[in-house]
């Protein structure tokens, strides 16, 4: 069930198929599958790049990070490199930022201050 996480998906204007997913709430063992399902929906409808706006994520658990990694696998199923070029994180909350850093995900997934900055880096 995804009662504790709201996910809003929108497509950005521009040449590249960039979708923004705005997360609000808690990304954990109970909500990660909802995030994965929404991401899959976006990818099925043409998304090539996903930007995760995590400014309103008040809790991020390791299961949530698993969900994020699963999305990078969905975006680049054949990519053997460790870095994810198609998924970027926007403006993570202090709670989310801390987990990214502790688990070392910040070395593999780019974190940007805002959407424009992230799109410029694609």
Partner 1 sequence: MSSFLESLNPELRDVIRLTGAPVSYKAGQSVFKYGDVGVAIYIIESGTVRVHDGDLVLNMLGNGDVFGELAALGGVERTASATAEEDLKVLRVESEALFNALQERPAALRGLVKMLCERGSGMAQRMTRRSWKLHAAQQELEIGRRIQAGFLPDGLPKVPGYETSGHFQAARDVAGDFYDAFYIPSIDRLALVIGDVCDKGVGAALFMTLFRSLIRATAQSRTFMTWAVESDPGKTLAPNDLDSGPLVDQTLANTVALTNNYVATTHGKTSMFASLFIGLLDPESGVIDYINAGHEEAFIIGRNGIRQGLPPTGPVVGIFGGAKHDIEAAVLEPGETIFLYTDGVPEATSESGEQFSDQRLRSLLESWQGSADELLQMIVNSVSEFTEGARQHDDITMLASRRDSV
- What residue ranges bind partner 1 (CB under 8 A)? 1, 29, 32, 62-63, 65-67, 69-70, 73, 80, 82, 102-105, 107-108
Residue 96 C-beta: closest distance to partner 1, Å: 15
DSSP character string of 93-117: -HHHHHHHHHHTGGGTEEEESSHHH
Pair of tokens at residue 21: 């997913």
Nearer to partner 1, 67 or 92 (CB): 67
**Least distance in Å: CB of 37 to partner 1?**
11
Q: What angle do CA 45, 118, 105 make, to 5 degrees?
A: 90
| Closer to partner 1 by Cβ: residue 73 or 114 | 73
**Least gap, CB of 117 to partner 1 (angstroms):** 24
> What kind and span of H or E run contains 63?
helix 62-75
């Amino acid at each position: 069930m995804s009662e504790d996480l709201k996910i809003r998906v929108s497509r950005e204007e521009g040449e590249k198929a960039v979708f923004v997913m705005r997360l609000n709430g808690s990304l954990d063992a109970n909500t990660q599958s909802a995030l994965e399902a929404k991401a899959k929906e976006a990818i099925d409808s043409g998304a090539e790049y996903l930007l995760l706006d995590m400014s309103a994520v008040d809790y991020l658990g390791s299961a949530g990070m698993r969900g994020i990694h699963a999305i990078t696998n969905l975006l680049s199923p054949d990519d053997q490199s460790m870095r994810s070029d198609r998924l970027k994180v926007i403006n993570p909350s202090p709670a989310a930022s801390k987990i990214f850093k502790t688990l070392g995900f910040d070395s593999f997934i780019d974190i940007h201050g805002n959407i424009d900055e992230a799109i410029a880096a694609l």
